[in-house]
């Protein structure tokens, strides 16, 4: 199975730069790995670390966060906040045994379709080399944990 392993990467792309870069890559008919599945957010600063964890927990082999270059954020500095969170998240994920290549932060401006495509290709190759993550099976050992916990309902008493 792992011979034909094709990683699934969830991409969080900011609306103004990297989503447009991905649009541009498409418009320019650049061919790159189809493994990255993009989710649009208004700004890389909207990417809550919970999103990354959620994606890893739900079967993604990697997560890419893409935003405008520092200094070029549509919202002035949202990407700097994204970077701050990413640096700390990376440190924590190291403790959780998630390889560095699996969660990446990249910068791509709206005109950098080629760069985004290259980064997706590179990350896909890196994650492919690492093999599947499959958190539920490999890490939780198929212990039959529920993905959706009986979510506590708020109740003030």
Q: Which of residues 86-105 bind another protein (CB under 8 A)?
A: 87-89, 91-92, 95-98
Q: How far is CA 11 from CA 45, 85, 150, 151, 152, in A?
A: 14, 16, 28, 26, 29
Nearer to another protein, 40 or 129 (CB): 40
Whole-angstrom Cα Rg for the chain:
17
* Among 1, 2, 3, 151, interactor with another protein by CB under 8 A: 151
- The yes or no reply on residue 157 touching another protein (CB under 8 A) is yes
Q: How far is CA 35 from CA 50, 68, 73, 143, in A?
A: 21, 21, 26, 28
CB of 86 to another protein, least distance (A): 8
Size of residue set near another protein by CB under 8 A: 92
CB of 3 to another protein, least distance (A): 16
- For residue 36, which phi and psi values (nearest 5 degrees)? -85, 125
* Among 1, 2, 3, 146, interactor with another protein by CB under 8 A: 146
């Amino acid at each position: 199975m792992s011979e034909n392993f094709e990683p699934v990467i969830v991409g969080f792309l900011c609306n103004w730069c990297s989503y447009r870069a991905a649009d541009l890559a498409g418009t320019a008919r650049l061919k790159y790995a189809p493994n990255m599945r993009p989710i649009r957010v208004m700004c890389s600063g909207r990417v809550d670390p919970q999103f990354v964890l959620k994606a890893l927990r739900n079967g993604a082999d990697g997560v890419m966060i893409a935003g405008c270059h520092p200094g070029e954020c549509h919202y002035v500095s949202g990407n700097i906040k994204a970077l701050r969170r990413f640096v700390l998240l990376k440190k924590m994920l190291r403790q959780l045994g998630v390889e560095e290549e699996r969660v990446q932060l990249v910068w791509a401006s709206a005109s950098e379709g080629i760069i985004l495509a290259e980064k997706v290709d590179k990350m896909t190759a890196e994650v492919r080399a690492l093999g599947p993550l499959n958190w539920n099976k490999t890490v939780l050992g198929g212990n039959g944990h529920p993905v959706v916990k009986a979510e506590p309902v708020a109740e003030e008493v």
